[in-house]
Amino acid sequence: MTTQADINREIDQLRGSGGPQPRLDYPPYRSSVLRHPTRDRQLVDPEGVELWAPCFGAADVDDAEADLTIQRAGEPLGERMVVTGRITDGDGRPVRDQLVEIWQANASGRYWHQRDQHPAPLDPNFVGAGRCLTGADGVYSFQTIKPGAYPWRNHVNAWRPAHIHFSLFGTDFTQRLVTQMYFPGDPLFDLDPIYQSITDPKAREMLVASYDHELTTPEYRLGYRWDIVLSGTHRTPLEEQ
């Protein structure tokens, strides 16, 4: 039986102190040592990369890809929501034509992936992946279903807070930013070593979306707003790989 002392001890182990980006080696996140680069960074010539890097434009990304609720014939189960925000550089300038990709678990906390075999139901009408391009004002927008929490085997009784994964490419394919967006007031924050690996509390807050009642559509969907900064001192914390 788990006692309050066990819970308090687990919270103490997950907390730390440090900077605005995740630690490369964060012992409570047991796989961190396996997921980050172990070799020195290599300088890349951006002009050379452009000769073989993939290219995309407005013709390659359909507007419908930003609506994760219409990817199958039926309606997905769960709490319908819209998440939108503005992507800027370190000087506050909007980043236009930015490719934004998201992936997430369904409302029951299960991914549409063969490796996810935990006993939660799959939703045949929800794949959980989408993408869009930002407009001239740097704004992105997705309609989706609020994801559920799910268990993982990092430690005893480990559960991930509800979150959505984001991938952005900055101004070229050598600047990819991968991060996670969380929801306000989640009781699992204190127990999640991935969230806690960003040990600056103010930096962690940058990963949490805010509820926006003006974005909420009566009797249809809730609205959340989450802005992303790609560079500078207020850069959105990344997800260590």
Catalytic residue positions, numbered: 111, 150, 160, 163, 165
Q: To 5 degrees, how large is the angle CA 221–CA 107–CA 12? A: 110
Return the bridge partners of 166, or none.
Answer: 102, 179
**Three-state secondary structure call for residue 145:** strand
**Three-state secondary structure call for residue 137:** coil
Q: Which of 204, 184, 168, 228 is nearest to 23 (CA)?
A: 204
Residue in this structure with the two tokens 């009408």, named with its chain if needed: 125
Taking CA atoms, 105 is separated from 34, 122, 176, in Å, by: 23, 9, 22
Q: How far apart are CA 88 and CA 127, in angstroms?
A: 29
The answer to whether 25 touches 36, Cβ cutoff 8 Å, is yes
